[in-house]
Every structure is written in structure tokens, then in C-alpha cells.
Amino acid sequence: MRRQVLLCALTVLVAASVTLLAQAFPSEQIQVGPPLRHTQAPLASATPQELEQRGDELRGKKSYLDALDYYGVALKKQPNSSSLLNKIGITQLQLQRFHEASKSFQRALKNDREYADAYNNLGVIYYLEKKHGKAIKQYEKAIKLRQDAASYYSNLGAAYFSKKELEKAVAAYQQAMQLDPDIFERTSHTGVQAQMSSPEDRAHFDYVMAKLFAQAGNSDRSLQYLRKALEEGYKGIDAVYKDAEFAGLRKDPRFTELMAARPPAIPE
């Protein structure tokens, strides 16, 4: 009887642990238990292009382990493909296998020293490891090779922001916005805010974004980020009445309404 009680208690503890892991990490980032396969194994007779295309499809469906299988077989047929190595690195990054991903990006660069995406992605690894100086160097290498990629500048801005080098961060963000005005909307859930170390940093970031959008004449986006800064409890919010970038926005009735209402800060 005592043994049965102990077994029941152990089962409950294991179930609780799995539940906590599932809540702490998105399902696409961690797998509890043996990796599952959802598709048939790659055919040895398939061409590298067919294997890579199937890998892309599986990665799009978040079947990351299956995608790695297909990319791996394709790589055996094309061992010097920087494109394949970069895709393998991205998939490993999505599985949070940072060390493996870093090696894949480095291998891609060994084969092609001018592969801008691999420099950028290697920078992402350093950024996630909070090695912001190293991340900046990689982003700058990527930008030197490609000046038209908004995400490179956005990533560079995030790294400078994390180092609290605000002027350089703002300059990088401005360049990203010029190339793609919607860049921050697409990365709002997984971008720089996800890496902020404190509520104060997130609030400061939102205020900076409000300022940039106001300067660009985008009142809707500016007000959106200004509201976020208020909700995050940004302590320097009164600067909105003095900063030149908000001169036009201060004439907008919605600005007056927002500042009069002063949305309460959302508790952490």
C-alpha cells in the first residue's frame, strides 16, 4: 500500500514538472521526452534540391527535427553548401541548440566569407548569449555586405540598446525603419523586447520607438508605443512635452487624451 502511494506521488510530481516546462518554454522551442518524427525518412535517391525544399516545408510547419533530417541528407550530397548550413543553423537555433547553431553558421562562413545572412545569424547567437560586443561585430560584417536588409539594422540597434549606447541604437533603428517601416511590428513578440533585462529597459525602448515614429510622421505607431511606455511605467515620460520629435504629435487630440488618461502601469 505504501509503495502504491509513493508511486502515485512520483507520477504527480513528474506530471507537474512537465507542465511547468511546457509553460516556461513555447512548444516549438523545447521537446519533453524522446524527439518525435512526424514524417517519413528522407529518400536517398532524392536530389539535393528536393531534400532542401522538403526541409523548408517542414521547418515552416515547425517540424524542426524532421527538417534537420532532410537538410542533413541534402548536405551530404552538397557538403560545401553555405545555404544549407545556414538553414541547418537556423533550425538548430529554433530548437535552442545554440552551440550547434553557432558551428553551422561558422561552417557556412568558412565556405563563403561573403555570406551576409550567416554573419547576421551568428550575431543573433552572441546576442542571445548576452555577448553584445561580439554580436555587434557580426551585424556590422553583415551590413557591410548588404545595406538593404532592415533586420540587420534592427538587430544592430537591439545590441547597442542592450549596451545602453542609445545614440547608436537610435541610428540603427532609424535605418531599419527607412528600409522597412513595419520591421518592428513583425518582431514585436520575438525581437528586442523579449531580451530586455528589466521593465525599465522595456519602457525606455518603447519611448525611443515612439520618438522615432513621431519623427517619421507616423502618429498612429508613435501613440501606440507611447501607450506601451506609459503602461510599462517609463519614469522619463514627461520629456514627451519637451522632445522636439513630438512637436507635431503634441497637436494631435489623441496625444492630449492619452496623456490626460495616463494608463496605469501594468504590474510585472
> Other C-beta atoms within 10 Å of 95: how many?
19
Task: Pick the closest to residue 212 from 251, 258, 250, 244 (CA basis).
Answer: 244
List, in order of start, the domains of the chain with CATH numbers: 39-113 (1.25.40.10)
- Evaluate if pTM is beyond 0.75: no
> Other C-beta atoms within 10 Å of 235: how many?
12
Q: Classify 29 as helix, strand or coil.
A: coil
Task: Measure the CA–CA gap between 199 and 146, rounded to whole angstroms.
Answer: 33
What grid cell was written down for 1?
500500500
> Residues with Cβ < 8 Å from 166, sequence gap 6 or more?
160, 208
pLDDT tens digits in sequence order for the chain, 268 residues long = 444 434 344 333 333 333 333 333 333 333 333 345 556 777 878 899 999 999 999 999 999 999 999 999 999 999 999 999 999 999 999 999 999 999 999 999 999 999 999 999 999 999 999 999 999 999 999 999 999 999 999 999 999 988 989 889 989 999 999 999 888 876 544 344 444 456 778 888 889 989 999 998 999 999 999 999 999 889 999 999 999 999 999 999 999 999 998 877 665 5
> Residues with Cβ < 8 Å from 260, sequence gap 6 or more?
none
> Residues with Cβ < 8 Å from 106, sequence gap 6 or more?
122
Q: Classify 90 as helix, strand or coil.
A: helix
Report the chain's C-alpha Rg in angstroms: 23
What values do phi and psi take at 233, rounded to 5? 80, 35
Task: Measure the CA–CA gap between 160 and 119, rounded to whole angstroms.
Answer: 17
Q: How far is CA 189 from CA 57, 61, 184, 186, 196, in A?
A: 23, 19, 9, 8, 12
